[in-house]
């Protein structure tokens, strides 16, 4: 078994934010330099960086880069704050579904609104972004701890998309549970859904597992039900982009189908996510905005740029779907597990 590695998708250097280019993995390991907030916004839109917690962390650094730029040309504090507010709005417009983005930007806005001169505010914004990054890794390790406790000594875990170090500031959520289980000496094998159309499973999750020597099989999405019917899967663990007050959970397209299959086969289906992924302002998954992405992701093979569908093919490409809370065995957070989640249990959990 390989050693658990400390994969990090971003590096902050005060002037520049470096991001591992997740579009190029697993074939090339290249880093993209973001020198302005606009570079960061584009990196989120273009999927250089993706994954709910990661885009929140990166957007926070985008605000810092923007604030440093604005500080140079602002006439006074009011002017500076107005400029940074526009920068926050630009970063908020990059991707609509993952609520962690808005959660992180809200934290940054709170700092902006607090007192101090321009220099103090810039320094406080930078400290806050560094805290958001550091806390995300700590949070993920706690999620891993609570998740690993749910697992028996031998598990075959099916996962979807990429919820690993690459999708966060480090360690991962659902993949963090897998890491923690392995660190605790459990015998874990992972079935990785390739995750059409963007192939986050095949390209990123398989890469992370391989780096760590955690045994896995890569399968195409349409194989999951078959392996469940053969009794090969003991549990499903996935991440989340936004969880409504009643527990309905938006995650990568294909998650809903997996939840239905797991229910049919009596297999536990867990969501692993930080509390920052909850959106208590919405009552159900019906209110979660689902991002529609480019048809090109469906009609072109991602890695080779070769077309796989006829010209003129009409395409639908929702990036996420919503799993009803009735299909979820438990939501694993950094503060513990919410079993059979519903509105009452979630509100109680947050009250505590
Ligand atoms: O479109 P992506 O790659 O950003 O989607 C990512 C997912 O759906 C993940 O499962 C989710 O963000 C959780 S990541 C810890």
d(CA 162, CA 206): 9
Tell the residue number behind the tokens 């549990």, with chain if given. 235
pLDDT score at 4: 54
- Centre of ligand 1 to C-alpha 97, Å, is 10
d(CA 169, CA 11): 10
- For residue 200, the ligand 1 atom closest to its alpha carbon is 3
pLDDT score at 306: 86
Number of Cβ within 10 Å of residue 83's Cβ equals 17
Q: Is the CB of 239 under 6 A from ligand 1?
A: yes
d(CA 274, CA 267): 23
Angle at CA of residue 177, ends 207 and 252, nearest 5° = 65
Q: Does residue 79 carry a catalytic annotation?
A: no
- Centre of ligand 1 to C-alpha 110, Å, is 26
Q: Can you give the CATH number for the domain in which 45 is found?
A: 1.20.120.420
d(CA 249, CA 242): 6
Per residue in 290-327, pLDDT tens?
999 999 999 988 766 788 888 888 998 999 999 999 99
Secondary-structure breakdown of the chain: helix, strand, coil percentages, each rounded to the nearest 5: 45, 15, 35
Q: Which residue has the higher pLDDT, 98 or 317?
A: 98
Task: Supply 86's token pair.
Answer: 């526009």
Per residue in 208-219, pLDDT tens?
999 999 999 999
pTM of this structure: 0.96
Average pLDDT, the chain: 96
Number of Cβ within 10 Å of residue 273's Cβ equals 29
User: Within a domain: residue 57?
Assistant: yes
Tell whether 47 and 163 lie within a shared domain.
no
Name the domain count of the chain.
2
Out of 193, 241, 248, 321, the active site residue is: 241
CA distances from 319 to 32, 167, 309 (A): 24, 15, 19
Tell whether 199 and 303 lie within a shared domain.
yes
ipTM score above 0.85: yes
* DSSP three-state, residue 9: coil
Task: Supply 85's token pair.
Answer: 């507010």
Tell whether 254 and 335 lie within a shared domain.
yes
| Beta partners for residue 242, in sequence order | 250
Tell whether 197 and 321 lie within a shared domain.
yes
Per residue in 9-67, pLDDT tens?
999 998 999 999 999 999 999 999 999 999 999 999 999 999 999 999 999 999 999 99
297: buried, middle or exposed (CB in 10 Å: 19+, 13-18, 0-12)? Answer: middle
User: Within a domain: residue 4?
Assistant: no
> What is the DSSP pairing of strand 278-279 with strand 242-244?
parallel
**Longest Cα–Cα distance in the chain:** 68
Closest to 246 measured CA to CA, from 297, 197, 282, 220? 282
**Annotated binding-site ranges for substrate:** 50-52, 95, 200, 251-252
Tell whether 89 and 177 lie within a shared domain.
no
d(CA 147, CA 239): 12
Q: Can you give the CATH number for the domain in which 155 is found?
A: 3.40.50.10470
Tell the residue number behind the tokens 């979630």, with chain if given. 346
Tell whether 118 and 207 lie within a shared domain.
no
- Centre of ligand 1 to C-alpha 168, Å, is 9
pLDDT score at 303: 63
Which of 51, 290, 333 is the pocket-test mutation for ligand 1 (most atoms within 8 Å of CB)?
51
Per residue in 257-277, pLDDT tens?
999 999 999 999 999 999 999
Tell whether 172 and 303 lie within a shared domain.
yes
- Residues above pLDDT 70, as percent of the chain: 98
| Cβ proximity of 134 and 287 under 8 Å | no
Tell whether 133 and 162 lie within a shared domain.
no
User: Within a domain: residue 98?
Assistant: yes
Tell whether 129 and 165 lie within a shared domain.
no
pLDDT score at 313: 86
Non-local (6+) Cβ contacts of 43 within 8 A are: 19, 32, 34, 49, 58
Tell whether 304 and 228 lie within a shared domain.
yes
Domain enclosing residue 234, as ranges: 142-351
Q: Is the CB of 53 under 6 A from ligand 1?
A: yes
User: Within a domain: residue 27?
Assistant: yes
């Amino acid at each position: 078994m390989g050693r658990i590695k400390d994969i990090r998708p971003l590096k902050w250097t005060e002037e520049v934010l470096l991001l591992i280019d997740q579009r190029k993995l697993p074939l090339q390991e290249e880093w993209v330099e973001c020198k302005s907030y606009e570079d960061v916004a584009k990196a989120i839109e273009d999927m250089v960086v993706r994954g709910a917690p990661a885009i929140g962390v990166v957007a926070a650094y985008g605000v810092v880069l923007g604030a440093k730029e604005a500080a140079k040309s602002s006439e006074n504090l009011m002017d500076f704050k107005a400029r940074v507010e526009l920068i926050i709005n630009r970063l908020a417009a990059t991707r609509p579904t993952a609520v962690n983005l808005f959660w992180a930007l809200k934290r940054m806005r709170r700092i902006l609104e607090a007192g101090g001169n321009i220099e103090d505010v810039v320094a406080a914004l930078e400290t806050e972004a560094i805290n958001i990054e550091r806390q995300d890794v700590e949070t993920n390790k706690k999620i891993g701890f609570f998740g690993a406790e749910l697992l028996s000594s031998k598990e075959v875990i099916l996962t979807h998309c990429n919820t690993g170090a690459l999708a966060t500031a480090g360690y991962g959520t659902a993949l963090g549970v897998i890491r923690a289980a392995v660190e605790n000496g459990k015998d874990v094998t992972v079935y990785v859904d390739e995750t059409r159309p963007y192939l986050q499973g095949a390209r990123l999750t398989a890469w992370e597992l391989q780096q760590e020597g955690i045994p896995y099989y890569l399968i195409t999405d349409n194989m999951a039900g078959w392996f469940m019917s053969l009794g090969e899967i003991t549990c499903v663990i996935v991440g989340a982009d936004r969880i409504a007050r009643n527990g309905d959970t938006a995650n990568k397209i294909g998650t809903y189908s997996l939840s239905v299959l797991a229910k049919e086969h009596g297999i536990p289906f867990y969501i692993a996510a930080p509390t920052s992924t909850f959106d208590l302002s919405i009552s159900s998954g019906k209110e979660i905005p689902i991002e529609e992405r480019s048809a090109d992701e469906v009609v072109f093979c991602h890695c080779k740029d070769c077309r796989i569908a006829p010209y003129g093919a009409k395409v639908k490409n929702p990036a996420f779907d919503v799993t009803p809370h009735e299909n979820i065995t438990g939501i694993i957070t950094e503060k513990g597990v919410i079993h059979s989640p519903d509105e009452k249990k979630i509100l109680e959990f947050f009250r505590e």
